[in-house]
Amino acid sequence: MCHEALISDRVITKRNIYYQDPDLFGSQQYVDNLVDDVAFTFRVGRDALNIVAAYKGLVAGNATIALKSNSLLNCSSDNNGILIPHVETIREVDVGEIKWIMVIEKEATFRGLAASRYYRSSAAGTGLLITGKGYPDLITRQFLRFLHSAYSRIPIYALVDFDPSGIDIMLTYKCGSRSLSHEENITTPGLSWLGPKGCDILGHTGHRHSIGNPPYTHQSFGVSPPSSQESSTPLAFSRMPPASPVEIFSNLTTLDRRKAITLLSRFTKANDEDTGRDMDENELICELQLMLMLNLKAEIQAVDDHGDLTGWLDEKLAGG
């Protein structure tokens, strides 16, 4: 199928390949893995095979995307955002007076901010919202890299859940993933972690242990032990407010703990001073250790009882 696509000079999607013979392939994931294996074997990007993923990522904000076909995409034309086009089809992106770019882990959070047009009302000035709907696809990662290369002066922030998966998603944007290490122009080294972080979560819940000011030192968090009256209550929940209709605080699962340990092992193996400074490695190590020690994870909405992030975002973006 790849050979036919190259010979006929047309582009096919991985989804199309799967539906050519679902009984043969068995699952979409199997097709995805095959495509990545072929690209890796030939040491080329997936684009060189004329195979692309179905568009997944969304963008919203005061920007206009000019395509090589001479058509224009207005990123503020839809309250739900517009699909991010393939970088190969983009001639240029006009960002106007945009002051910041925010990559958001969750589609629901993205849609809420896009619908309220936070990218216009932000106290930090106009901005651009992007989401890859969880772990990002190549098209979203390429688009973010395109913006980073074209407008390096504009800061790019990551808004992800306070859990190991959130940090892993942020690192996928920033540093790439091992499975797609052969792909080019898909990392955004200038990406900064906006939060929420441990200080935001614990400060908001009123669980104010003396954990110092971030970035923490990984030698000691200075977390106060529970008193005798609290000894039977899990540390992370001893003084939390009553649970809200949406569970935004919870214990780490076994899978969460494994992922956190895997991430910590990755940092340990790297053990490169330059890499550590570039990735704010010490801070990430501390945050992961804090999650493990308190057995706590939280969703983005944990910074506000009503899920309205705008006040918190204004404060963070202005301070960033």
* Listed residue (317, 15, 255, 18) closest to 137, CA to CA: 15
Answer yes or no: 19 catalytic: yes
How many Å apart are CA 30 and CA 135, to the nearest integer?
Answer: 17
Which pLDDT value is given to residue 275? Answer: 44
Out of 19, 30, 135, 151, which one is annotated catalytic? 19
* Listed residue (141, 144, 160) closest to 152, CA to CA: 144
Q: What pLDDT, in 10s, does the model give residues 6-27?
A: 888 887 888 888 888 888 998 8
Which pLDDT value is given to residue 223? Answer: 38
| Structure-token pair, residue 256 | 């969460």
Which pLDDT value is given to residue 228? Answer: 39
Is the full-model pTM beyond 0.95? no
Which pLDDT value is given to residue 51? Answer: 83
Which parts of the chain have pLDDT scores under 70?
Answer: 177-184, 203-248, 269-279, 304-307, 320
Which pLDDT value is given to residue 19? Answer: 85
* Listed residue (133, 146, 142, 45) closest to 95, CA to CA: 146
Which pLDDT value is given to residue 50? Answer: 83
Instruction: Domains for the chain: give ranges and CATH numbers.
Output: 2-52 (1.10.10.10), 55-225+236-320 (3.40.1360.10)
Q: 280 phi and psi, to 5 degrees? A: 50, 45
